[in-house]
């Protein structure tokens, strides 16, 4: 498996299928948080058991059985289980285009004002129980794969998004539609970055992908993402490098090159800035055999929120 294939393999478990429009991933939160990250897909977490916590830029939410957490595809986040309360979940991933095909208004819960939005929906609310049942029904359909299961799963997804739109009607009222237009424009820029971060790209390239002038694109990118292009790109490159340091035997030079850094010195400088240690010490520390099995995969991906600049 070459370097690009190995990166894609890491992401593939989150990719919705063409037949159902979703990916439903059972996942136990580690006791040490993963790298703060984002997905190409929209995300709904349904907690099955245990206790955990989700971290966003300026917020955190405790979760327990029956709770839901709503995450869009531009907001960096991470999560963990509390020790002694292993948190098991079902993660539902789907692309915005799946919903847009039916009614783009159903995207409202995922296009929100960060200062007003509440990501967690308590298990005490009827809507959480209703959506939980629909997600479990999806899991059953995926397991049995009876005739027309793909169409039925899509209908369950539309039902879930309709319930979310109704629940978040007040929080997303007003300015969501202009934001949707901005988000749709920025999304083309994000797609370009995801495809070309290994190259020596400039913001002019991203602006061209967004069909905007560089000045307008820069303002719009920062408004939607909450951070600038350079910060976003460097954090993406370091995030990929962290995974490859632990999950492959590639040399530092190869990782530096394949993540888009122009020199080993610039790679080391940015890695130390974000992770607070060198790539070699990071690889040595997290590639060593784990003493606590439940932390083996998680520790390899750990970065403290306080260690990430501009997060």
pLDDT at 45: 97
What residue ranges do the domains of the chain occupy?
Answer: 3-167, 176-226, 231-307
Structural class in CATH, domain 3-167: mainly beta
CATH architecture of the region 231-307: Orthogonal Bundle (1.10)
Of 138-147, 279-288, 290-299, where does mean pLDDT reach its minimum? 290-299
What is the 3 state secondary structure string of the chain? CCHHHHHHHHHHCCCCCCCCCEEEEEEECCCCCCCCECCCCEEEEEEEECCEEEECCCCEEEECCCCEEEECCCCCEEEEEECCECCEEEEEEECHHHHHCCCHHHHHHHCCCCCCCCCEECCCCHHHHHHHHHHHHHHHHHHHCCCCHHHHHHHHHHHHHHHHHHHCCCCCCCCHHHHHHHHHHHHHHHHHHHHHCCCCCCHHHHHHHCCCCHHHHHHHHHHHHCCCHHHHHHHHHHHHHHHHHHHCCCCHHHHHHHCCCCCHHHHHHHHHHHHCCCHHHHHHHHHCCCCCHHHHHHHCCCCCHHHCCCC
Is the pLDDT confidence value at 31 over 90?
A: no
Q: How does pLDDT run across 43-91, given as a tens digit for each residue?
A: 999 999 999 999 987 789 999 999 999 998 778 888 999 999 999 999 9
pLDDT at 85: 96
Q: How does pLDDT run across 243-258, given as a tens digit for each residue?
A: 899 888 999 999 999 9
């Amino acid at each position: 498996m070459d370097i690009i294939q190995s990166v894609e393999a890491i992401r593939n478990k989150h990719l919705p299928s063409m037949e159902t429009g979703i990916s439903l991933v059972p996942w136990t939160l580690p006791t040490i948080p993963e790298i703060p990250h984002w997905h190409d897909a929209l995300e709904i977490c349904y907690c099955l058991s245990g206790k955990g916590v989700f971290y966003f830029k300026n917020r955190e939410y405790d979760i327990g059985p029956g709770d839901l957490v709503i995450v869009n595809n531009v907001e960096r986040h991470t999560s963990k289980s509390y020790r002694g309360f292993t948190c098991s979940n079902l993660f539902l991933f789907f692309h915005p285009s799946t919903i847009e095909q039916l009614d783009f208004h159903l995207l409202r819960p995922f296009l929100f004002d960060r200062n007003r939005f509440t990501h967690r929906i308590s298990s005490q609310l009827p809507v959480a129980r209703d959506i939980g049942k629909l997600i479990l029904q999806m899991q059953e359909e995926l397991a049995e794969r009876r005739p027309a299961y793909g169409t039925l799963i899509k209908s369950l997804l539309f039902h879930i998004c309709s319930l979310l739109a109704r629940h978040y009607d007040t929080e997303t009222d007003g300015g969501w539609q202009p934001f949707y237009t901005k988000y749709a424009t920025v999304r083309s820029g994000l797609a370009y970055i995801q495809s070309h971060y290994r190259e020596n790209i400039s913001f002019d390239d991203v602006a061209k992908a967004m069909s905007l002038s560089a000045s307008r694109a820069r303002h719009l990118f920062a408004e939607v993402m909450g951070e600038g292009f350079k910060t976003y790109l460097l954090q993406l490159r370091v995030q990929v490098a962290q995974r490859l340091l632990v999950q492959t035997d590639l040399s530092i030079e190869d990782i530096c090159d394949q993540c888009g850094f122009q020199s080993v010195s610039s790679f080391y400088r940015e890695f130390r800035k974000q992770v607070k240690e060198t790539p070699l010490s990071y690889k040595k520390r997290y590639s060593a055999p784990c003493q606590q099995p439940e932390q083996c995969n998680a520790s390899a991906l750990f970065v403290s929120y306080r260690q990430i600049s501009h997060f």
